[in-house]
Structure 1
Amino acid sequence: MDELRIAYLFETTKAGSIRGAAERLQVNASTISRQISLLEKDLGIPLLERLPRGIRATEAGRMLVDYYADQKVARDDVVAKIHELNALTRGTVQLVIGEGFIGDLLSGPLQEFCRSHPGLSLSVDVMATDGIIRAITEDEAQIGLVFNPPFDERLNTTARISRSICAIVPVGHSVAKLGHEPTLAELLPYPLACLSSSFGVQKLIDDATQRDRVHLHSSIRTNSFTLLRKFVVSGLGIALMPGFVAAEELADGLVEAVPIANDILKAAEIHIVTRHGRQLPPSALRLLGHLKLHLKAFYATANA
């Protein structure tokens, strides 16, 4: 069916006459009459009753008029929602992060963003590095916050900063009293908690130990940064991770972050990633800019 012809029918029934519709639309009356006649011919049924004063839609005509009215309302609603998206008053932003960033996000950045944009919803999933890359490249999430991701041509890094992996040790631990940056070999005597191999942090540690021909025995292997921090705070041993992951414990004076003499661990980076070629909506772009400005992990003074 020709939408323009249905629109002429709608306006004619609304105005009560073809002449009234012509005046409203600023179209020649004969044009409207001809188009409605063609619509009746296409459907094989009368759509208007000609009355002594004006016109009235037949049952079939009323069905078309109601259809057009519903479509117009739906179209106007979609346009309004699109304007709302552009105005950041509605929509959902999908964020996927490593567990180590939870404390940083909840310390202020997410609260500030939600307070500034109450109409937006945030979806935040926590995954290891492999899961973050999969979620971004398969469009399950719009923005990823990941530690030292491997090169992937499908990923676009929108921001990065160096954040070395340190030895997180209890306050006063002998490693913190060495007076120099310890090598990986010097950490061998101490009980160690490690992450699962799916984490970017652990992959980098494994690369460093292989290069230095050192085998670090792990007392505990886990998929939780929280457990690593508790392991250290409880005095059970040490853990290797970026200092910002233990920012709360460092601020409370419960642990110390000791730099390690290893260029691989010092070259670690935090990345904010999106899928290469994906056009982000205004809401996701706003969150992206907010994270770059407000994540403590991206501050120049953040714990290394």
Structure 2
Amino acid sequence: MELTEAGQMAVDYFRERERQAQRFRAQLDEYRGLQRGQVTIAAGEGMVTSLVNDVLKQFLERYPGIVVDLRTGSLPELISMIREDMVDICVSIGASSDPTLNARLFQSEPLCAIFSVEHRMSSLKSVKMEDLAGERLVFMPADFGLQTLVNAMLSDIGRTYVPAFRCDLFSTAVAIAAQNLAVAFMTRRAAQERIAAGQVKAVPIDHPFARTFDRYVITRAGRRLSPAANYFLREIIRLMSIV
């Protein structure tokens, strides 16, 4: 018996379908086993160092085939990215009241004034915002969550401070503080590399607003995360939780 030309075409077609199905099953197994895939994360710039050191390093050592897309921005930009499905996970300092978002508190620590080790206030246990009158200060853009908090504290004590510097990177702000050019504001974790290097000290701010600087991990409600993104989400909560 010999196949007709149409019959041979049918056999070739089904054989190719089977090969494609086998490739798909193999790729799916790799995907489920986190051998491949992609995770897209939005994080405030002040969180990036902690995210890389505490989570990303261990994650990629275990799953080197995963591609990680890490983006930063202001708080409104971060919330917009997660709301519009531009990223899988958002790590930010504020929980949105938007019912389309799921926010979970995973870290809370005091907001600090960052002093050069040479600064006269660097050895204090805490510092009041009133104590910083006359000091050269570093402010962030107004749409940064941290600057919103700093402004709220100044409003609460009835003060208006004019900064010596404005910048949109925490790394720049802490570099300025390290040179004793001004006092910056951020958490101890955000300044941890400069603290470890013995260049700056983080002194907690004595104000009710500054005692719990909360951070949240946020996903869009109803979004089905990939296995890699779901695992990374759990690792953020497990490795970075300080509540």
TM-score normalised by the chain length of structure 2: 0.90
Once the two structures are superposed, what CA deviation does each residue of 1:160-219 show, in whole Å capped at 9, x if it has no partner?
221221111112423345x56433222121011111122211122222222332212111
Indicate yes or no: 2:236 matched with 1:236. Answer: no
Give the Å deviation of 1:226. 1.0
Gap change, CA 1:153 and 1:128, over 3 Å in 2: same
Indicate yes or no: 2:29 matched with 1:78. Answer: no
Gap change, CA 1:129 and 1:108, over 3 Å in 2: same
Are 1:168 and 1:238, in contact at CA under 8 Å, matched by a contact in 2?
yes
Instruction: Name the Cα RMSD after superposition.
Output: 2.1
Alignment of 1:66-145 (within 5 A): 66-145=12-91
Gap change, CA 1:100 and 1:250, over 3 Å in 2: same
Once the two structures are superposed, what CA deviation does each residue of 1:19-48 show, in whole Å capped at 9, x if it has no partner?
xxxxxxxxxxxxxxxxxxxxxxxxxxxxxx
Are 1:149 and 1:200, in contact at CA under 8 Å, matched by a contact in 2?
no
4+ runs deviating over 4 angstroms: none
Gap change, CA 1:158 and 1:77, over 3 Å in 2: farther
The CA distance in 2 between the partners of 1:184 and 1:286, in whole Å, is: 40
Are 1:97 and 1:144, in contact at CA under 8 Å, matched by a contact in 2?
yes
Identity across matched positions, percent: 26
The CA distance in 2 between the partners of 1:156 and 1:150, in whole Å, is: 9
Amino acid at match of 1:134: S
Amino acid at match of 1:281: S
Give the Å deviation of 1:239. 0.8
Give the Å deviation of 1:149. 4.1
What does residue 277 of structure 1 align with?
Answer: 222
What secondary structure sits across from 2:40 in the alignment? strand
Q: Aligned residues, how many? A: 243
Gap change, CA 1:79 and 1:156, over 3 Å in 2: same
The CA distance in 2 between the partners of 1:199 and 1:149, in whole Å, is: 14
Larger helix percent: 1
What does residue 153 of structure 2 align with?
Answer: 208
The CA distance in 1 between the partners of 2:158 and 2:174, in whole Å, is: 26
The CA distance in 1 between the partners of 2:153 and 2:91, in whole Å, is: 23
RCO higher in 1 or 2 (8 Å CA, sep ≥ 6)? 2
What does residue 167 of structure 2 align with?
Answer: 222
The CA distance in 2 between the partners of 1:164 and 1:67, in whole Å, is: 65
Once the two structures are superposed, what CA deviation does each residue of 1:80-134 show, in whole Å capped at 9, x if it has no partner?
2222211111111111211112222333532221111122221111222222111
Are 1:143 and 1:274, in contact at CA under 8 Å, matched by a contact in 2?
yes
Are 1:129 and 1:149, in contact at CA under 8 Å, matched by a contact in 2?
no
Give the Å deviation of 1:75. 2.6
Once the two structures are superposed, what CA deviation does each residue of 1:217-246 show, in whole Å capped at 9, x if it has no partner?
111111111110111011101011111111
The CA distance in 2 between the partners of 1:245 and 1:122, in whole Å, is: 21
Are 1:129 and 1:146, in contact at CA under 8 Å, matched by a contact in 2?
yes
Deviates more, 1:102-111 or 1:218-227: 102-111
The CA distance in 1 between the partners of 2:70 and 2:43, in whole Å, is: 7
What does residue 294 of structure 1 align with?
Answer: 239
Structure 1 gaps of 5+ residues are 1-53
Q: Choose which of 91, 95, 102 in structure 2 pairs with 1:156.
A: 102
Indicate yes or no: 2:130 matched with 1:185. Answer: yes
